[in-house]
Amino acid sequence: MPGVMCLLVLEVLIMDKPFFPPTGKQVVPLSKLQDEDEPTIISQPRPVGSGRDELFEDALRICVKKQSASASILQQHLRIRPERAAALLKALERAGFVGKANGAKPRRVRGIAYATVLRWDKNK
């Protein structure tokens, strides 16, 4: 849009090994920000709770390891039916760990997923 200045907010993740995960970004028009407001990313992942599928954590770890998310990847590695793989993928999307579907292409794994798995590994 000509004449409109925007602020770009990026998720940044620093890891010990060289790796550049996909980043999530949100564009917020500066006219919408107040002086005291901090820009925030709206779609933050929800905390992992007890109401989730028992394979949720395993599914997230697989997606992070493979650097992409798809029902077929989850089916192969978890040895589950297509319906359950699709449900897990939808749950990962709702939680904010993977991006939206883009046709037949695998979904992008957001930077917050890498940080979450790293945090889980540190807490073990």
Measured distance CA(77)–CA(55) in Å, rounded: 11
Measured distance CA(100)–CA(106) in Å, rounded: 10
- Give CA separation, 90 vs 29, 70, 120, in Å: 30, 10, 21
For each of the domains in the chain, give its residue range(s) and CATH number, in order of start. 56-123 (1.10.10.10)
How does pLDDT run along the chain (124 residues), one tens digit per residue? 455 444 334 444 444 444 444 554 444 444 554 444 443 333 344 455 557 889 999 999 999 999 999 999 999 999 999 999 999 999 999 999 999 999 999 999 999 999 999 999 999 7
Question: Which residue, among 67, 65, 124, 69, has the nearest Cα to 94 in the 3D structure?
Answer: 69
Write down the pLDDT at residue 18: 41
Measured distance CA(75)–CA(12) in Å, rounded: 30
